[in-house]
Chains A and B, each alone.
Chain A
Amino acid sequence: MTQQTPSEPLLQVAPSPHLHASHLSTQRVMLDVLIALIPVCAVSCWVFRWYALKQLVLCELTALLTETLCAALRRRKSPVWDLSASVTAVLLALSLPWNAPAYIAIIATVVAIGLGKAAFGGLGFNLFNPAMVGRAFVMLSFAREMGASGYVAQVPGLDVISQATPLTAAKQYVAALASGATVADSVQTAFQNIPPLSDLFLGIANGSLGETSVGAICLGGLYLCIRKTIAREIPVCMLLTAAAMLGLMQLLGFTDDGFGALHHLGSGALFLGAFFIATDPVTSPLTRRGRCIFAAGLGALICLFRALSSYPEGVMFAVLFMNAMVPLINRYTIRKPIGGPVPGSAASPKA
Chain B
Amino acid sequence: MQEPTAGERFLNGLLPENPTYRQMLGLCATLAVTNGVKPAFTMACSTGFVLICANAMISLMRKHLQPHLRILIFTLTIATFVTVVDRLLQAFFYPMSQQLGPYVPLIIVNCIIISRCEVCASKQSLPIAIADAVGQTLGFLIGLVSLASLRELLGNGTWCEFEILPQSWPRWRILMLPPGAFITFGLTLGFIEWFVHRKQRA
Contact = CB atoms under 8 A, between A and B. Distances in A.
Interface of A: 101, 103-104, 107, 115, 119, 137, 140-143
B71 interface: no
24 contacts: A101-B170, A103-B170, A104-B170, A107-B172, A115-B183, A119-B186, A119-B187, A119-B190, A137-B174, A140-B173, A140-B174, A140-B177, A140-B179, A141-B170, A141-B171, A141-B172, A141-B173, A141-B174, A141-B175, A142-B170, A142-B171, A142-B172, A142-B173, A143-B173
Interface in B124-182: 170-175, 177, 179
Contacts of B183: 115
Nearest to B194: A73
Contacts of A140: 173-174, 177, 179
Nearest to A111: B183
Contacts of B174: 137, 140-141
Interface residues of B, number: 12
Nearest to A143: B173
A136 B171 CA distance: 15
B127 to A, nearest CB: 44
Nearest to B175: A141
Nearest to B183: A115
Describe A's contact surface by its main secondary structure: helix
Nearest to A104: B170
B148 to A, nearest CB: 18
A101 B183 CA distance: 23
A115 to B, nearest CB: 7
Contacts of B173: 140-143
Nearest to B171: A141
Contacts of B190: 119
Given A140-B174, A141-B172, 5 more contacts: A107-B172, A115-B183, A140-B177, A141-B174, A142-B171
Nearest to B169: A103
A341 B173 CA distance: 51
Contacts of A107: 172
Contacts of A103: 170
4 A-B pairs with least C-beta separation: A140-B174, A141-B174, A141-B172, A141-B173
B170 to A, nearest CB: 6
Contacts of B179: 140
A104 B175 CA distance: 15
A58 to B, nearest CB: 15
Contacts of B171: 141-142
A142 B187 CA distance: 21
Contacts of B170: 101, 103-104, 141-142
